[in-house]
Amino acid sequence: MSAEIRSHLIELLTHALAKVAPQQPASMISLERPKQAQHGDYSCPAAMQLAKSLRRSPRELAQELIAALPASEWLAGAEVAGSGFINLRVRSAARQHVVKTIIDQGKHFGCSDRRQGRPVMVEFVSANPTGPLHVGHGRQAALGDAIAALLEAQGWRVTREFYYNDAGTQIEILALSVQARVRERLGEVVEFPADGYHGDYIRELAERYLAAGNTDGEDLEAIRRFAIAALRAEQDADLIAFGVRFESYYLESSLYADGRVDATVRALIDAGKTYEKDGALWLRTTEYGDDKDRVMRKSDGTYTYFVPDVAYHITKWERGFSRAINVQGSDHHSTVTRVRAGLQALSGSLCRGIPQGYPDYVLHKMVTVMKGGEEVRISKRAGSYVTLRELIDEVGRDATRFFLVSRRADSEFVFDVDLAKSQSEENPVYYVQYAHARICSVLEQWRIQDRDADEQSLAGADLGPLEGARELALLQRLGEYPTVIETAAREVSPHQIAVYLRELAGEFHSYYNAERFLVADARAKVARLALASAVRQVLRNGLALIGVSAPEKM
């Protein structure tokens, strides 16, 4: 049921409460959905909750509240049920009103300004620039961008940030791998690093390095800079092709260059949260829920990976992001406790006031790609995994994005390439987009038949004819959309949007197959077209949130 109806009924009940028990707060009024449809559209337990303090019979109090309800063209009736529930039934006009609201609000339907521009950072992808983005990065990109869009729809001021891990052991291995291929191209006999990166893209980098006029295979630092820049550019191009943008980029290397990592370690030592053992520096993470203390600085003087992560998150707090959400693979689960432990250990110095659960994490499982009934394990370019670009080229951006947000982040996901390319109702993205295209076709036919056809006029249509079971089901589903958006944003679960869109499309297809739109009865025709227009708008709005297009023809 729509938020409008819910708000209206709460207003009516609040008015009744003010008459019957003026000393009671309006917050006593709440609504529930009855488990059985015959019990009405909504149920209010206020009479039972108030009965004891007022020393009244719950049923008698409920009857008084019903008698005090103001007249409303949306309320069909109210009755006492059970031990004192107030069951409410709404008129069809209340359900139908959502069509006018949707047409009036257009792309803003479902949005809210309740967060009033509060800042939030969503950090996602944050891949090592050591190779092309893989399908796991793709799932992270689709999830992170959809989460950001959902938060924006609720009034948050969102900053999307990509944290480039351009420092550390993996970058050194990348440089050594490219150097080995460069020296091979120069005719030298070299031993490839045992833990080096393979795949054709390493050879491509070596060839491009030499083609740029470099003739020295010994300059490891120059090779490192070239490889990082080239792979960053490739990753950026892949994300642009995926329709994902970022407002901010942050380099891990800058944390070392600016002295932030050293400052963080010094602050932890000064706070008494560290100790030395076996030549290494340890952080007392067990004081913050970890199963054992963790090494911060190894005996060789290098830092473990979570230390710069702590320093990085201090910058988020300092930049004013009192809420931060990290979207990462489930293989980073151990990072959560360590980063939070480091931040809590510094909450009295470098990051005062930081809450215990900072930052929030959305951890996603990896993706298995299937094609022709078999798992696809490797890429032609990357060698050891399937790249995001290859998946986009194979099935298209829309299918890739829809599929990658269609399941809970913490669930395993099998990406069926054949299904994603099929034109059938089993393919969810095709099914949803086809519903949108069907409505565009119906409205186009109306414009061809009627020179006076005006879609804006549908906002004022008489919706009285929308009384059929399928029409009422569609109206109810449309009314649920703002609540779905609010819930998905609160739970940072964009898969709820994909599920909702699939259900809405299914109900529209059933309606389309059962009814004609361009009928002789002008009143029924305009009402059905208005309903179809509202469905189209909600499909368009929902698809936009998850970064999928809404084609007018298919």
Q: pLDDT by residue (tens digit) across 482-496?
A: 999 999 999 999 999
Look at residue 50 and tell me whether its pLDDT is greater than 80. Answer: yes
Q: For residue 151, name the pLDDT band (cuts at 50, 70, 90).
A: very high
Q: For residue 331, name the pLDDT band (cuts at 50, 70, 90).
A: confident
Among residues 537, 320, 374, the alpha carbon closest in space to that of 443 is found at 537
pLDDT of residue 403: 98
Residue 470 structure tokens: 């399928």
**Mean pLDDT over all residues of the chain?**
95
Q: For residue 548, name the pLDDT band (cuts at 50, 70, 90).
A: very high
Rounded to two decimals, what is the model's pTM?
Answer: 0.92
| Average pLDDT of the residues in 139-155 | 98
| Average pLDDT of the residues in 60-65 | 96
pLDDT of residue 168: 85
Among residues 549, 540, 548, 553, the alpha carbon closest in space to that of 105 is found at 540
pLDDT of residue 384: 79
pLDDT of residue 23: 92
The residue among 146 and 38 whose pLDDT is bigger is 146
Look at residue 383 and tell me whether its pLDDT is greater than 80. Answer: no
Q: For residue 456, name the pLDDT band (cuts at 50, 70, 90).
A: confident
Return the CATH architecture of domain 425-545.
Orthogonal Bundle (1.10)
| Average pLDDT of the residues in 403-424 | 96
- Spacing of C-alpha 268 from chain mean position: 34
Among residues 358, 137, 313, the alpha carbon closest in space to that of 236 is found at 137
pLDDT digit string (tens) for 69-95? 999 999 999 999 999 999 999 999 999
Q: Which pairing describes strands 157-164 and 75-81: parallel, antiparallel, or unpaired? A: unpaired
- Spacing of C-alpha 299 from chain mean position: 41
Look at residue 161 and tell me whether its pLDDT is greater than 70. Answer: yes
What CATH number is given for 3-90 in this structure? 3.30.1360.70
Look at residue 216 and tell me whether its pLDDT is greater than 90. Answer: no
Task: Evaluate whether 154 touches 115 at the Cβ level (below 8 Å).
Answer: yes
CA pseudo-torsion sign 537, 542, 543, 544:
positive
Q: For residue 452, name the pLDDT band (cuts at 50, 70, 90).
A: confident
Look at residue 1 and tell me whether its pLDDT is greater than 70. Answer: no
| Average pLDDT of the residues in 503-514 | 98
Which range is least confidently modeled, 58-67, 202-211, 373-382, 425-434? 373-382
The residue among 276 and 384 whose pLDDT is bigger is 276
pLDDT of residue 314: 97
Look at residue 380 and tell me whether its pLDDT is greater than 90. Answer: no
Among residues 67, 19, 13, the alpha carbon closest in space to that of 42 is found at 13
> How far is the first Cα of the chain from the last one, in angstroms, to the nearest whole number?
31
pLDDT of residue 180: 97
Helix, strand, or coil here: 545?
Answer: helix
pLDDT of residue 333: 86
d(CA 92, CA 106): 22
pLDDT of residue 453: 85
Task: Evaluate whether 127 touches 137 at the Cβ level (below 8 Å).
Answer: yes
pLDDT of residue 329: 94
Residues of the chain with CATH 3.30.1360.70: 3-90
Task: Evaluate whether 429 touches 163 at the Cβ level (below 8 Å).
Answer: no
| Average pLDDT of the residues in 299-326 | 95
Residues of the chain with CATH 1.10.730.10: 425-545
